[in-house]
Structure 1
Amino acid sequence: MPQPFIEDDLFEQKFRVEFSDPSQGKVRSPYTLTGSDLFAADQRDQILDRFKDLIEAPSRDVAASLFAKWYTLPMAALYAMSRYQYGIDVSPERLRVRVDKWPYFLVEETGASVCPQEGREQWRADLLRQLFSRHVDPLYRSLAEYSGLSIHAFWAHTAYVIGYWYPLWISQTESQPVQQSLRMDYRFLTQEAPAELFGPYDKNPLSTRFRTIEHPAEPDNQVRIRKQCCFIYKLPSVGRCCYTCPRLTEEERVERLQTL
């Protein structure tokens, strides 16, 4: 694993992802689940019902929506690919999961790949197919079955966070080659990638346009509005919508932004 990758605390602090080498010993005890457990109905229902109780969600649709919103493993994998040219193996059987009020992830280093000097486009396509078609899509279908929500509600969360993180990563790096990689991958994910990389779809589910408004207190800052409400306002500990929520009127949104 590249040294700068190891030292980047974004993985653990923002994405709640840790890495392990199984050859060095047993997996830590808190990670008692595999990624595959989230796809099997009986185990999934137990895991998500416990998650629902922990966050005090009033219903399964609220729990499933927030679980998908906080399922940060895909962004960690995309960050590794675009920023470090490193392919994380997110095969469900290699993934260990701990679910408390947030999902946490332990990923095996074995099975990871480094971008080849030639053939990056094929390497990227293979990584994205593994991530989305073989992991994210089955997870979202499982969440849809559990909650009764449309699978497109979960994809809307993913499209939104990709549109948040990539521009931020681009703005935070001074390296031209890294910026170029981030820009190319962002464009590919949201505009060029064929639908078959994501699952049995006719259209790329990440190819979504978001409405933006001017921040009332920061004229140079554009606020991107979500396509799908995440239902966080239904949690007793929160009680109000995100300022990016499509449920808000413009007056309510401005009021929320001015209080931040």
Structure 2
Amino acid sequence: MNDFLTTRSWKEMTEEYRLRLGEPPADSARTIALSSLKEEAACREYVSWLQGYIGAPDMQVAASMLAKRIGYLWIAPLMTAMSYYNRKVSISLDNSYLYHPASPAAAGGTHFPFLSLNGLRASAPPADREMWREEVMEEIFAEHLAPLLQTLAVAGPVPIAVLWENIMVRIAPLYSPQAEEYSRARQRLDADFMFLTRTAPGELFGARRNPLTRFTEYYEGMPVAKNRRITCCFYYRMSEEYCQKCPKIDNENESQLK
């Protein structure tokens, strides 16, 4: 059932995340299939190219920034579909491409990639939504994302915890209690975020334990994303400024007070 992919809701979501449906532009400065990023040699070559293209000081920073971008372009829309629209959207990594527009100026001035998707499928949950939710998450995280993050961790090299927190900061706002636009699905969002960050076993993430739990805390009996990151994503080494949630901000303030 692909009816969801023809709805106004799906169209609005693709516009919000600037997803391109179909093949990437033929005149792109660079394209690479998401499936290729699971291969170490291809991933390392692309991250090396990306480093120069975005002006990162080294491959570690470039790999970390790429994980953030993937969290925004790919993982956040899939989790939005699951939790807010109650739909599973499946993609083929072989037919999903990161692409860099030929003219960064025409793309809002960014040198970071965008995502084109082809061969999408959508389905609604059966009566047992909890079992369905496990299957959706296992496909997104364990089957697709985890192998890619593991390759990025080697190519950077970047600690795997940094990469998982980069994903976390892109999906956590979807479940924020302040996300008023999602009030109609509040109960489902709360239940999904509890499962996503607290009760889901590590196997659903391709890991021994849930990699997102450490990035949350309880507020009024419900898990929420921590106000300050635990790990540093290295953004400051590229932009000469810190992310608002960077753990190094507190360290810098403490140093100035001494």
The residue aligned with 1:225 is 228
The residue aligned with 1:8 is 12
1:135 Cα deviation (Å)?
Answer: 1.3
* 1:182-201 alignment, distance < 5 Å: 182-199=189-206, 201=207
* Greater fraction helix: 2
Distance of 1:251 and 1:141 partners within structure 2: 31
* 1:171-190 alignment, distance < 5 Å: 171-175=180-184, 178-190=185-197
Change beyond 3 A, Cα 1:167–1:38: same
Contact 1:193 1:204 in 2 (8 A): yes
| Deviations 1:123-159 (CA, angstroms, capped at 9, x unpaired) | 2111111110111101111101101222121012222
Identity %: 26
The residue aligned with 2:129 is 120
Change beyond 3 A, Cα 1:250–1:147: closer
The residue aligned with 1:217 is none
The residue aligned with 1:249 is 250
Distance of 2:78 and 2:216 partners within structure 1: 23
Change beyond 3 A, Cα 1:232–1:121: same
Runs of 5+ unmatched residues, structure 1: 21-25, 213-221, 254-260
Contact 1:229 1:246 in 2 (8 A): yes
Change beyond 3 A, Cα 1:241–1:211: farther
Distance of 2:114 and 2:177 partners within structure 1: 23
* Stretch deviating more after TM superposition (38-47 or 66-75): 38-47
Q: TM-score, normalised by structure 2?
A: 0.79
Change beyond 3 A, Cα 1:230–1:251: closer
* 1:20-39 alignment, distance < 5 Å: 20=22, 28-29=25-26, 30=28, 32-39=31-38
| Structure of higher RCO (CA pairs closer than 8 Å, 6+ residues apart) | 2
1:163 Cα deviation (Å)?
Answer: 2.6
* 1:123-142 alignment, distance < 5 Å: 123-142=132-151
Runs of 5+ unmatched residues, structure 2: 102-110, 219-224
The residue aligned with 1:87 is 88
* 1:207-222 alignment, distance < 5 Å: 207-210=213-216
Contact 2:31 2:100 in 1 (8 A): no
Alignment of 1:205 onto 2:211: yes
Q: Which amino acid aligns with 1:249?
A: D
Change beyond 3 A, Cα 1:239–1:181: same
Distance of 2:199 and 2:158 partners within structure 1: 27
The residue aligned with 1:215 is none
Distance of 2:246 and 2:59 partners within structure 1: 20
1:27 Cα deviation (Å)?
Answer: 5.7
The residue aligned with 1:216 is none
1:85 Cα deviation (Å)?
Answer: 1.4
